[in-house]
Chains A and B, each alone.
Chain A
Amino acid sequence: MPMREDIEGTTAKYLRDKYAIVGVGETDYRRGSTLSTRAMATRAVGNAMRDAGLKASEIDGMLSYQFNDSAFSPLVAGDLGIRLNFYMDVFGGGSSTEALIGIAIGVIEAGMCKTVVIFRSMNGFSQVRIGGTGARAAAPVVGDMLHSRAYGWQSAGQSFAPSFMRHMYDYGTTAEQVAAVRVAHSHHASNNPKAFYKKRVTVEDVINSRMICKPLHLLDCCVETDNANAIIVTSSERARDMRHVPVKIRGVVGRCSKPRSDMHYQTGPISTVAGHYGKEILWPNSGVGPEDIDVTGSYDAFTFTTMLQLEDYGFCKKGEGGHYVSDGTIKLGGRRPNNTSGGHLCEGYTHGIAMVIENVRQLRHDADDSCPIGPDGRRQHTYDYGEGGCRQVKNAELSANLGWASPGTGSALVMRRG
């Protein structure tokens, strides 16, 4: 039997392609789900199991993330008849999905379980709203919040805005350039039957929408919805026998942070975000670079978060993010489309997991658009990206997902068609 020393284990490279995503599923994006987070989670996990072709007895691990606003794994697993060898429900938002995929690899590698389902379930419109209105606005201001919420500085947009504003100052980035992110994502959403907002918008629509907090207009901000999403991770060896082409995991970054994650504005440049550090982990571990990537999935809580992440992960030179997101590159039909589902700006909001699901479908060459279904039961993609048409990226082989908790903390994931 080979000893561990025989394997190059000093870097993560030996894990490249060893694990895969084999199932994805979600519930509808709605405002008013009429379901508990527990019921939505069981439906999303059930949909992912059917997508993979896996029975309850073939899943033995579960991970979820939440902000005290969702159901816990033992209840969801119990409802579905899944007996768990491992589970963990962690605190967190937009930097979680990619990090939990890394944790799933780790616990399978450690022999704690064999197949892990990851879910996020939230009634983000009808129960606990992320922006801080409702129940969150009434909670006492304590501890670190005495230096933020007490100043009316509490929603995600308000908190991140000084980074966005400073980028405009440092590099001359314009509101019009960044608005192009919303335009691109709205075009993509118009080809996504699941999307909550399917209407295509223009740069003028974004700039003329009402100001929320400078530099963010209403249409620079994402939609709030109710829904649940789920992803199943297992070994590539097991994945060979499953329904779909496996989507293999090349490399992950989990909650990589700038210095002073308690208040990252203490360390500049404040127009630089966590991707500046994350890229030093992502690309060497994945064995590819930004130029190799066919489709990206960025955390588009705001138009600006997409621009900053693409820039700091090296898809363009530092300071040229405004140009990159507005020159056609990120649109379907462009060199490297971003958020082909419409993302959080248009499809719906679930803390980053939906953009990973979209890229899994892209790499399967099975984007669920309105293209006709052929005799083999698969969509016959037309690559006509006109309104209501196709949203499959032609010959997509490699994707990158960029998760965001704040300017100071992010996660990332590179996947390839197996």
Chain B
Amino acid sequence: MITAEYLGMPLEINDLDKENLDYFAHCSKHDFRLQRCCSCDLFRYPPTTACPWCTAAESEWVAVEGRGTVHSYTEVHHAIQPSFKQHLPYLVLVVELDAQSGKPSAQEALRVVGNLTTPDGVLAPRKDVEAVGIGTRVRMAFTDVAPGISLPQWTIDENAAGKSRIWRYPSE
């Protein structure tokens, strides 16, 4: 059982939740791994208890490159959790990984959720929030919460700066 507090929220992973224990343990080493099906070799996200494509139960944790493109997002201006208020506005990103994009069918991909953060995993300042939209290239960062649990996050990929075509919600 892992218990931790992050931005005022209690986080818990119980001992029976083996999939999340493994997922976040790898993240705590800044090593992003996803389950790869031992039967059909497809990766899946978020952690599941069987393969969504072939139903096989067996999987292994295999490293996946944490790079991708923002597929969609929301920019939050009204926080529900009180501790998020100091970070408004913040972004929730749905990022399509380069790995396995368009597989096993054209419309499918590994779309990994995270906030926009600085490279060291702190919720991003307003100037960065306002620079990101659909199409932005991002790379993975991590927020260390407690031993055995770090949250995978997204930060702007400096190497791709100026190369991506970005769509943002029209400003008021």
| A36 to B: closest C-beta gap in Å | 26
Q: Which of B10, B13, B80 contacts A158 (CB 8 A)?
A: B80
Residues of B within 8 A of A131 (CB): 80
Within 8 A of A (CB), among B1-49: 3, 6-7, 9-14, 17, 20, 24, 44-46, 48
User: Is the CB–CB distance between A270 and B72 below 8 Å?
Assistant: yes
Within 8 A of B (CB), among A266-300: 266-270
> Does A1 make an interface contact (CB < 8 A)?
no
> Does A201 make an interface contact (CB < 8 A)?
no
User: Is the CB–CB distance between B92 and A212 below 8 Å?
Assistant: no
Within 8 A of B (CB), among A142-180: 142-144, 146-155, 158, 161-163, 165-166, 168-169, 174-175
> Does A137 make an interface contact (CB < 8 A)?
yes
User: Is the CB–CB distance between B111 and A265 below 8 Å?
Assistant: yes
Q: Given A132-B80, A215-B169, is A147 in contact with B12 using a C-beta cutoff of 8 Å? A: no
User: Is the CB–CB distance between A147 and B113 below 8 Å?
Assistant: yes
> Does A103 make an interface contact (CB < 8 A)?
no
User: Is the CB–CB distance between B92 and A163 below 8 Å?
Assistant: no
Residues of A within 8 A of B151 (CB): 150-151
Instruction: Please give the number of chain A residues whose Cβ is less than 8 angstroms from any Cβ of chain B in the complex.
Output: 46
User: Is the CB–CB distance between A158 and B76 below 8 Å?
Assistant: yes
Q: Given A146-B24, A150-B9, is A266 in contact with B77 using a C-beta cutoff of 8 Å? A: no
User: Is the CB–CB distance between B9 and A158 below 8 Å?
Assistant: no
Q: Which of B59-67, B102-110, B156-164 faces chain A?
A: B102-110
Give the residue among B3, B10, B76 with the most A Cβ atoms within 10 A: B76
| B95 to A: closest C-beta gap in Å | 10
> Does B142 make an interface contact (CB < 8 A)?
no
Closest to A175 in B: B170
Contact with A along B148-172 (1 / 0, CB 8 A): 0001000000000000000101101
Q: How many A-B residue pairs have CB under 8 A?
A: 136
Within 8 A of A (CB), among B36-95: 44-46, 48, 52, 71-82, 84, 90, 92, 94
> Does A260 make an interface contact (CB < 8 A)?
yes
User: Is the CB–CB distance between A212 and B169 below 8 Å?
Assistant: no
User: Is the CB–CB distance between B75 and A147 below 8 Å?
Assistant: no
> Does B136 make an interface contact (CB < 8 A)?
no
**A220→B58 CA distance, assembly (Å):** 44
> Does A141 make an interface contact (CB < 8 A)?
yes
User: Is the CB–CB distance between B76 and A141 below 8 Å?
Assistant: no
User: Is the CB–CB distance between B13 and A148 below 8 Å?
Assistant: no
**A211→B129 CA distance, assembly (Å):** 15
Residues of A within 8 A of B20 (CB): 143, 146
> Does B114 make an interface contact (CB < 8 A)?
yes
User: Is the CB–CB distance between A133 and B80 below 8 Å?
Assistant: yes
Within 8 A of B (CB), among A113-159: 131-133, 137, 140-144, 146-155, 158
User: Is the CB–CB distance between A165 and B134 below 8 Å?
Assistant: yes
Q: Which of A143, A154, A270 contacts B94 (CB 8 A)?
A: A270
**A268→B141 CA distance, assembly (Å):** 25
User: Is the CB–CB distance between A162 and B73 below 8 Å?
Assistant: yes
Closest to B85 in A: A152
Q: Given A162-B73, A212-B78, is A143 in contact with B17 using a C-beta cutoff of 8 Å? A: yes
Residues of B within 8 A of A211 (CB): 75, 77-78, 172
> Does A262 make an interface contact (CB < 8 A)?
yes
Closest to A265 in B: B111
Residues of B within 8 A of A268 (CB): 107-109
Residues of B within 8 A of A214 (CB): 74-75, 77, 169
Q: Given A207-B172, A211-B77, A213-B77, is A150 in contact with B11 using a C-beta cutoff of 8 Å? A: yes
Contact with B along A36-67 (1 / 0, CB 8 A): 00000000000000000000000000000000
Sample of 20 A–B contacts (CB below 8 Å): A140-B9, A140-B12, A141-B10, A142-B11, A142-B13, A143-B17, A147-B46, A149-B9, A149-B81, A151-B151, A158-B92, A162-B72, A162-B73, A162-B92, A163-B72, A165-B74, A260-B52, A266-B44, A266-B108, A266-B109
Please give the residue numbers on chain B whose beta carbons come within 8 Å of chain A beta carbons, in ascending order.
Answer: 3, 6-7, 9-14, 17, 20, 24, 44-46, 48, 52, 71-82, 84, 90, 92, 94, 107-111, 113-115, 134, 151, 167, 169-170, 172
Q: Can you name 8 extra interface pairs (CB under 8 A) apart from A149-B9, A151-B115, A215-B169?
A: A144-B46, A146-B11, A152-B76, A154-B81, A166-B72, A211-B78, A263-B45, A263-B46
